A and B are shown apart, each in its own frame.
Chain A
Amino acid sequence: GEDVEQSLFLSVREGDSSVINCTYTDSSSTYLYWYKQEPGAGLQLLTYIFSNMDMKQDQRLTVLLNKKDKHLSLRIADTQTGDSAIYFCAENNAGNMLTFGGGTRLMVKP
C-alpha cells in the first residue's frame, strides 16, 4: 500500500531556515502537497508541486522533489514563530484521494 513518511519533530531558532522532509511510495502521484495545521484548526494548503517539476519557489517556501528517491522537502526561509505548526505532506492517488504523512511538528524558538 501507499505510505508517506515524515519525521515527527523539528526545532529551529527564529530567523533560521527550516527543512521538513517527506518520502512517499506511489510513483504515479501527479501532485504532491504541503499543508499546515495550527492547533485546533483545519488544514491550510501551503504549496504543491506537479510531479514533472524538480523545484517550486513561493516567497519563503521552496519545495524540492526528487522523483528517483521519492523524496519531497519543504524549506521555509527566515522561519518565524508564527510558522510553528504541524506540517503534512500528501500525495494524490486514485484521483481525489490524498494520502497524508503523519505530520512534522515544527517548533520555532524566539
Chain B
Amino acid sequence: KAGVTQTPRYLIKTRGQQVTLSCSPISGHRSVSWYQQTPGQGLQFLFEYFSETQRNKGNFPGRFSGRQFSNSRSEMNVSTLELGDSALYLCASQRGGNPFEETQYFGPGTRLLVL
C-alpha cells in the first residue's frame, strides 16, 4: 500500500511569490492534515481537511490556505511569501472516521526555501 506522497519535495521561491504544495493521502484515507516544521517553532498544525471541508485550523495567518479534492488529495497554498515561511511542510493522512481513535501517517514533506 503506497504511503503519503508529497510534491514537490524541494522548492525555492522569492519573497512576495506564492506557492502551492500537493499531498496525496494513503488510499482510503479521507482526512489530510498539514503541519509546518521550523527550527525555531518546531512542528505546528496548520489545518485539516476531511471530505473536502476544513475541519480544524491552527493559528496561522490567512496567507496560508488549503483545499481538498473529491479524491482526497489536498493542496496548500501560501501567498505573499515571507522569509519566515521557509520550512518543511508535512502532510499527514488519516482514515478520518473518528479522529480521536486513529493515527496519522506522515509524508516525506516539502522543503520550502524563501529567498
Contacts and interface: CB of A to CB of B under 8 A. Distances in A.
Interface residues of A, number: 23
Interface string A33-45: 1010000011111
A42 to B, nearest CB: 4
Contacts of B90: 42-43
A24 interface: no
Interface of A is mostly: strand
A45 to B, nearest CB: 6
B100 A45 contact: no
Given A31-B100, A92-B99, A97-B56, A45 B43 contact: no
Contacts of B109: 41-42
Contacts of B31: 96
Nearest to A50: B101
A88 B90 CA distance: 14
25 contacts: A30-B101, A31-B100, A33-B103, A33-B104, A41-B108, A43-B90, A44-B106, A45-B105, A45-B106, A88-B43, A92-B99, A92-B100, A95-B55, A96-B33, A96-B55, A96-B104, A97-B56, A98-B33, A98-B43, A98-B45, A98-B104, A99-B45, A100-B42, A100-B43, A103-B42
Interface of B: 4, 6, 31, 33, 35, 42-43, 45, 48, 50, 55-56, 58, 90, 92, 94, 96, 99-101, 103-109
